[in-house]
Amino acid sequence: MTTHFINAEINLQESPQKLHQEIEKELEKRGTPLRWAVTKVDAQTQKAHVEAVVVTTNSVVTEIPEKK
């Protein structure tokens, strides 16, 4: 098992619940999320910046691509 620190940008959603679901969906692509936090919201670009720690069974993890 390996832990990885992930930085991601997620498009803002219509509601906090949808944003929460979208963040977890994106992080699960890279492993099992241990913890995550929204560290910044850019109102101009309508993106939330997320920092997370995920666990994987392999040692290869790449950054989550920016959503457009």
User: Which pLDDT value is given to residue 13?
Assistant: 86
Mean pLDDT of 60-68: 58
> What's the pLDDT tens digit per position in 3-59?
999 999 999 988 999 999 999 999 999 999 999 999 999 999 999 999 999 999 865
User: Which pLDDT value is given to residue 64?
Assistant: 60
User: pLDDT band at residue 66, thresholds of 50, 70 and 90?
Assistant: low
User: Which pLDDT value is given to residue 18?
Assistant: 94
Residue type, position 33, single letter: P
pTM given for the model:
0.75
Domain boundaries, the chain: 2-56
Q: Which residues, including other chains, have CB under 8 Å from residue 27's CB and lie 6 or more apart?
A: 6, 8, 33, 36, 50, 52, 54, 64
How many other β-carbons are positioned within 10 Å of the β-carbon of residue 49? 15
